[in-house]
Amino acid sequence: MIGSTVIASHRNAGLDLLAFSRDRLGFVCHLKRTYGDVVAFRLGPERMVLLSHPEHMHEVLVRQHRAFLKGRRGDVSKQFLGQGLLNSEGALHQRQRHLLQPAFHRQRLAQYATVMTIFAARLRQSWQDGDTLDMAPVMMQLTLAIAAKTLFDADVEAEAIAIGQAITTLLQGSPRMSLPLAPLLRFVPLPSQRRLRRAQDYLDTLIYRLIDERRVTGGERGDVLSMLVGAQTEDGSPLSPRQIHDEALTLLLAGHETTALALSWTWYLLAHHPEVDAAMQAEIQTVLGERLPTVADLPQLQYTRMVFTEALRLYPPAWLMTRRARQEVTIGDYRFAPGTFFLLSPYLMHHDARFFPEPEAFVPTRWAAPPEAGPARHAYLPFGGGPRQCLGEGFAWMEGLLVLTTLAQMWRMALVPGLPVEPWGLVTLRPRQGIPVRLARR
């Protein structure tokens, strides 16, 4: 920070590093509660700034986006996602986003809807009345199978558990690994490093197998894998196997993990609020009766949409975004030096009473009217904003609503008493002990 004396500044670099690595969510909530909208602090050698006001987030993500890079050197996710769309910068990012965009156009999304509903319908048939399940891994396996089928025309259901475990290993390793100096840890033969390596090798092998199979079978199947295998760089050469791998793995990860979490948190909230569950069920019965939902039903499922919107407010899976200043930047009244690392928290903003009255309450009907003008209009940010806004937002809404209606049409979930449910801020916002529920057939 340059030339300001009023910014809330928190100094306890050593202890903070410990607190941050132990409980990221608790740590940033504490900073916001204690210091407010803009908090400068240090984690070890790194200068950091926590932002959680809508106007500031809008400045960084939209108005001044050119002044920022997404990550930082040595960022752990670059180790396993490489130069895929989540991590790439500048011209490479623009070119790859342009290449992949058509797979997410409205007409293309509509073709994915049937797979989403059929997979969810198959799942609901496999359940028994009175079963106890942890919805978190169940939703991960479902959305993973849907992403693989729609984006890569691949059937991975048999491997879904192993893939899910490998991804969890990488994500659990990531918060620690993204701490300052952590890249050096890679060279230390700790058991945790070996686990990370194994998980990474497993996923790499899987992705290269899918690419090789597609090369052999060939043909334009109109899915993302065909687009990548058939794509050319500016000089007319095909994408390198590494680049295809990075994009495919990025989409497989980004395309299922967050949606699974959004659904898991929605089941948790519905189980906690039977009156909301009943209102949603009434809408499903009116619109669909006993038949399965299609994409044409989505505009009528307005209450269900509000439920999902509100769940994404309370538990935004992408709860913390990161940016690094490429140059000196001014945000609000403050100037920051080049290299400053910014943490932007949709979670903190979504829980701020200035923008969402009674922020801790689950009130889907708060979305019946569009948000008022003023800062509140940028206060809801589950999919980010600006040129790096989520590419799969339309996909996620469609999948979320179709899966929610298909499963809720047949099953009600009750929380298993005595088992705590607690948000855990890893790279994404996960339920620390899962979402254990008991199923009751409607």
Which residues of this chain interact with ligand HEM, rule CB under 6 A?
70, 85-86, 97, 250-251, 254-255, 258-259, 262, 317-318, 321, 382-384, 388, 390-392, 395-396
Could you give the angle at which helices 135-152 and 257-272 cross, rounded to 10 degrees?
140
Of 7 and 382, the one with the shorter C-beta distance to ligand HEM is 382
CB of 131 to ligand HEM, least distance (A): 25
Pick the closest to residue 321 from 33, 77, 4 (CA basis).
77
Of 281 and 345, the one with the shorter C-beta distance to ligand HEM is 345
Place of tokens 């700790």: 190
Of 33 and 73, the one with the shorter C-beta distance to ligand HEM is 73
CA dihedral of 103, 108, 111, 116, whole degrees rounded to 10: 50
Of 82 and 384, the one with the shorter C-beta distance to ligand HEM is 384
Of 396 and 439, the one with the shorter C-beta distance to ligand HEM is 396
Neighbour-count burial of 395, counting CB atoms closer than 10 A to its CB (0-12 exposed, 13-18 middle, 19+ buried): buried
Of 27 and 383, the one with the shorter C-beta distance to ligand HEM is 383
CB of 407 to ligand HEM, least distance (A): 16
Of 174 and 250, the one with the shorter C-beta distance to ligand HEM is 250
CB of 316 to ligand HEM, least distance (A): 6
Query: Quick one: tokens of 199?
Result: 């998980």
Pick the closest to residue 154 from 54, 72, 223 (CA basis).
223
- Give me the residue whose beta carbon is nearest to ligand HEM: 392
CB of 285 to ligand HEM, least distance (A): 26
Of 8 and 157, the one with the shorter C-beta distance to ligand HEM is 157
Of 166 and 251, the one with the shorter C-beta distance to ligand HEM is 251
CB of 261 to ligand HEM, least distance (A): 7
**Interatomic CA distance for residues 315 and 429, integer angstroms:** 7
CB of 331 to ligand HEM, least distance (A): 16
CB of 12 to ligand HEM, least distance (A): 27
CB of 258 to ligand HEM, least distance (A): 3
Of 293 and 316, the one with the shorter C-beta distance to ligand HEM is 316
232 pairs with which residues across the strands? 238
In sequence order, the 6+-apart residues with CB closer than 8 A to the CB of 316 are: 346, 347, 350, 381, 382, 429
Of 7 and 25, the one with the shorter C-beta distance to ligand HEM is 25
